[in-house]
Structure 1
Amino acid sequence: MNELKMKVYQAAIVSLKTKSELLSEERVKIIESILEEEKNSAGDKYETSREMITQDLNSLEKQIQQNKNDLEELYRLFSIKDTPIIVQEGALVKLGTDWFLIAVSVGKINTEGISVFLMSKNSPLGSLLIGKKKSDPVDFRGKTQRIEELF
């Protein structure tokens, strides 16, 4: 596996693990809020407040599950050591001057002084890149760029 690609994966995994820790801390705070609200019950106002906190908790639980799924997917793709000849899931691609990792949609990470955008193969640009080779042109949003690197 290319050294840059390995560092990108490692940075992405660290980023998702950090996010997981933050989400878990937030979950604890919300649960503590629910328990505190039970002590201070005051009729309808209590029910409304508790419902809002419960909705926050449900939303947070979905984020925690999505983060877990993204982390598992990154681990799966990281285990693939082959350098692809075409763009596929797990590929690190330099399109023009920008770097992309076709993996999970978690946004931008920085490693080795390089910004890399992590995106799904199903994203608009990801679906255009899948199946392309190094030096192939890619038309996206009215702009044509070439695939400069593929790892």
Structure 2
Amino acid sequence: MDKKELLKIIKAKLTDKIHHFENLIAETRASSNDTKSSMGDKYETGREMLQQEINNLQRQLNESLNQLAVIQKISSEPSDKVQNGSLVKTDKGLFYITVSVGEIISENQKIMTISAESPLARAMSGKKAEESFSINNIIQTIQKIG
């Protein structure tokens, strides 16, 4: 499993997400400019709702930009203990500790991307191969760290 390839997949997902949010913000701003009316309070209420939507989209865009910045700093070098950037195989699944973008499939294997701040990543942090950890009363054993 090539971590450089996984990082490329994650970067592509985040870049697509960023473009999507930028387009939604632009479209919402355009519709906000189109809402000309002489209905007084209704006009102001509509503009305020559109502004709240823009603020929400902007927050999501900023979160995706922050995730992209985190990805830029992740090393693809192997490590002997679980840390940010580790590809961890346990008896329950395959996890890549980077940023959470959901499940990705590479070389016909499902890999769950998780944030280093997630409870699962924290539970396995610092562990080495053949060590076990418990989360939600489920014991997992680390089989391999990449």
TM-score bracket, normalised by the shorter chain, equals: over 0.9
Residue 63 of structure 1 aligns to a residue in which SS? helix
- The CA RMSD over aligned residues, in Å, is 1.4
SS of corresponding position for 1:90: coil
Count of residue pairs the alignment pairs up: 146
Q: Is the 8 A contact 1:99 1:115 kept in 2?
A: yes
Name 1:105's counterpart in structure 2: 100
Name the residue aligned to 1:42: 39
1:40 Cα deviation (Å)? Answer: 2.9
| Moved beyond 4 Å, runs of 4+ | none
Matching residue of 2:118: 123
1:12 is paired with a residue whose SS is helix
1:70 is the counterpart of 2:67 = yes
For the 8 Å contact 1:8–1:116, the answer to whether it is kept is no
Return the TM-score normalized by structure 2. 0.93
Would the aligned equivalents of 2:25 and 2:57 in 1 still touch at CA under 8 Å?
yes
Structure 1 CA distance for aligned equivalents of residues 6 and 96 of structure 2: 8
Give % identity.
Answer: 30
Query: Are 1:22 and 2:54 counterparts?
Result: no
Deviation track 1:33-81 (CA, whole Å, cap 9, x = no partner) reads: 11011x234211111111110000001111111101101111110xx24
Conserved 8 A contact 1:11-1:110 = no
* Aligned residue in 1 for 2:52: 55
CA deviation after TM superposition for structure 1 residue 129, in Å: 1.0
Shift of 1:105: 2.4
Greater relative contact order (Cα 8 A, min sep 6): structure 1 or 2?
A: 1
**2:139 & 2:70 partners in 1: Cα distance?**
30
Secondary structure (helix, strand or coil) at the match of 1:134 reads coil
Instruction: Give the gaps of 5 or more residues in structure 2.
Output: none
Gaps of 5+ in 1: none
Q: In 2, distance between residues paired with 1:58 and 1:125? A: 31
Residues 133 and 139 in structure 2, CA contact (< 8 A), matched pair in contact too: yes
- Could you tell me whether the CA contact under 8 Å between 2:99 and 2:114 is conserved in 1? yes
